[in-house]
């Protein structure tokens, strides 16, 4: 029996895996020590748990355990990486290279630095698949460049950037390379050491762990990366991030990383199959639908589709027992659709028509079939109601119409 509502928004967040929760629970009630307490068994027990988690995380991402610094999540990690590097290396330069489709936590950290007069930022464009060109990164480098920040995989369209190529360029030029790897770790193989990534943001809640806990990978050798801390306090985490460690959360992040690493080969295959089934089913039933993002270089669980002539928010309303998300922003004051979809150069109308399906560990084939059926029917119903669909069927080129808005 299919349980509703169906959750298919796993890029937004994920359900905590019961194995992760089981690992965490003792650290709330029995093993509640402060990992910084050095003189009793409660503290030692907590510290051991934190060390174990560091090892579990490091093993998933090609890092050494001491290179893991715990934070409250990816937004904090992004802020710490970008602001921390620019402030620490201010005598070396003040130029940052980023990309237009980055997460808001990255873009807004960059903008904050620009506003404060601490940095100038180049935001590189992407191609029609949402991929940044490594040569464009190379060309954007100046003698003032101190940081490159490019995400591993995009949260809306799932496109995976050529990170190792960018890492190679960064190494060649001696520039620090930060990577928001939130959507990638645990989903696709990630090795920061090999990819030449110097700093990376990760978070637990995208990989079936708890919310409110994340980490930043900080390379310790070749080069040893330094950061100006963004919070003052007890000097925890090698002075980079003060604050009592969230031991249950850290245990959860560690367990989530270990499970994701163990299951990744089979799970990625399973998700690719589910996604192919969803995509094929929608294409079978509907004409004029378009996949946004890269056809192959994309996250296994991601499918972003534009359903021409149907506005995304109204589609979501029609499929209200399915949790997905839309690139439409009919509720925002600007009425502008997703900046990520727009960056692909597709028409705004198609951007308004985009839906992101985020498949995850707990989705089933039965759910995929249900979603395919439900979405197709609703798209058909809304197209019957759509003046644009009618005009298109009459052979009117919508671009030639002089819209009075």
Partner 1 sequence: MAYSEKVIEHYNNPRNVGSFAKDEPNVGTGVVGAPECGDVMKLQLKIGDDGVIEDARFKTFGCGSAIASSSYVTELVKGKHIDEAITIKNTVIVKELNLPPVKIHCSVLAEDAIKAAIADWRKRRGDNFASGEQPLRAKEA
Angle at 4 between CA 329 and CA 270, to 5 degrees: 85
Q: Which is nearer to partner 1, 152 or 309 (CB)?
A: 309
Q: Which is nearer to partner 1, 301 or 337 (CB)?
A: 337
Q: Closest separation between CB of residue 383 and partner 1, Å?
A: 9
Lookup: tokens for 332: 């925002």
DSSP output for 289-341: EEEES-SSSB-TTEEEEEETTS-HHHHHHHTTTEE-EES--TTSTT----HHH
Look up 330 and say whether it is catalytic: yes
DSSP 387: H
Site of interaction with partner 1 (CB under 8 A) = 309-311, 313-314, 317-318, 328-333, 335, 337, 347-349, 352, 384-390, 398, 403-405
DSSP output for 143-166: TTEEEEE--SB-TTT-BBP-HHHH
Do the strands 322-323 and 6-7 form a parallel or antiparallel pair, or are they unpaired?
parallel
Angle at 128 between CA 94 and CA 200, to 5 degrees: 40
Q: Which is nearer to partner 1, 141 or 392 (CB)?
A: 392
Q: Closest separation between CB of residue 343 and partner 1, Å?
A: 15
Q: Closest separation between CB of residue 283 and partner 1, Å?
A: 22
Q: Closest separation between CB of residue 330 and partner 1, Å?
A: 4
- Main-chain phi, psi angles of 249, to 5 degrees: -65, -45
Q: Which is nearer to partner 1, 196 or 312 (CB)?
A: 312
Q: How far apart are CA 220 and CA 197, in angstroms?
A: 11
Q: Which is nearer to partner 1, 176 or 341 (CB)?
A: 341
Q: Closest separation between CB of residue 334 and partner 1, Å?
A: 10
Question: Is the Cβ–Cβ distance between 173 and 143 less than 8 Å?
Answer: no
Question: Is the Cβ–Cβ distance between 14 and 207 less than 8 Å?
Answer: yes
Q: Which residues, including other chains, have CB under 8 Å from residue 208's CB and lie 6 or more apart? A: 14, 15, 16, 17, 20, 256, 259, 260, 360, 361
Q: Closest separation between CB of residue 405 and partner 1, Å?
A: 4
Q: Which is nearer to partner 1, 272 or 346 (CB)?
A: 346
Beta bridge partner(s), residue 347 = none
Strands across the sheet with 214-218, in order?
68-71, 214-218, 199-203, 176-180, 145-149, 95-99, 120-124
CB half-sphere exposure, 33, CA atoms < 13 A = 17
Is it true that the peptide bond before 183 is cis, omega within 30 degrees of 0?
A: no
- Choose the catalytic residue: 99, 179, 257, 330: 330
Q: Closest separation between CB of residue 351 and partner 1, Å?
A: 8
Q: Which is nearer to partner 1, 36 or 346 (CB)?
A: 346
Q: For the chain, what's the residue count?
A: 405
Q: How far apart are CA 27 and CA 23, in angstroms?
A: 8
Q: What residues act catalytically?
A: 330
């Amino acid at each position: 029996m299919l349980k509703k509502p169906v959750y298919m928004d796993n890029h937004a967040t994920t359900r905590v895996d019961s194995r992760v929760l089981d690992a965490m629970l003792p650290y709330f009630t029995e093993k509640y020590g402060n990992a910084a307490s050095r003189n009793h068994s409660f503290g030692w027990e907590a510290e051991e748990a934190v060390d174990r988690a560091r090892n579990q995380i490091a093993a998933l991402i090609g890092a050494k355990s001491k290179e893991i610094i715990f934070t409250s999540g990816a937004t904090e990690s992004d802020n710490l990486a970008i602001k921390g590097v620019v402030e620490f290396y201010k005598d070396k330069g003040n130029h940052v290279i980023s990309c237009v489709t980055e997460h808001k936590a990255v873009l807004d950290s960059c903008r904050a630095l620009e506003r404060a007069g601490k940095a100038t930022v180049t935001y590189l464009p992407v191609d029609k698949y949402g991929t940044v060109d490594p040569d464009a990164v190379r060309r954007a480098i100046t003698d003032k460049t101190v940081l490159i920040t490019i995400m591993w995989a995009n949260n809306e369209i799932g496109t995976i950037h050529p990170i190792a190529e960018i890492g190679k360029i960064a190494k060649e030029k001696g520039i620090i390379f930060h990577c928001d790897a939130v959507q990638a770790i645990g989903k696709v193989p990630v090795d920061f050491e090999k990819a030449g990534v110097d700093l990376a943001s990760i978070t637990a809640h995208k990989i079936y762990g708890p919310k409110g806990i994340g980490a930043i990978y900080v390379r310790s050798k070749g080069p040893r990366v330094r950061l100006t801390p963004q919070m003052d306090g007890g000097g925890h985490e090698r002075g980079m991030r003060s604050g009592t460690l969230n031991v249950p959360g850290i245990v959860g992040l560690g367990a989530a990383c270990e499970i994701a690493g163990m299951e990744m080969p089979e799970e990625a295959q399973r998700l690719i199959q589910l996604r192919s089934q969803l995509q094929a089913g929608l294409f079978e039933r509907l004409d004029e639908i378009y996949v946004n993002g890269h056809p192959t270089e994309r996250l296994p669980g991601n499918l972003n589709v534009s359903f021409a002539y149907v506005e995304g928010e109204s589609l979501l309303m029609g499929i209200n027992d399915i949790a997905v998300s839309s690139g439409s922003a009919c509720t925002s004051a600007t009425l502008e659709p997703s900046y990520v979809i727009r960056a692909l150069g597709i028409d705004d109308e198609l951007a308004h028509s985009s839906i992101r399906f985020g498949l995850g560990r707990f989705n089933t084939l039965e759910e995929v079939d249900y979603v395919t059926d439900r979405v197709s029917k609703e798209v058909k119903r809304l197209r019957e109601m759509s003046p644009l669909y009618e005009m298109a069927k009459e052979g009117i080129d919508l671009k030639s119409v002089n819209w009075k808005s």
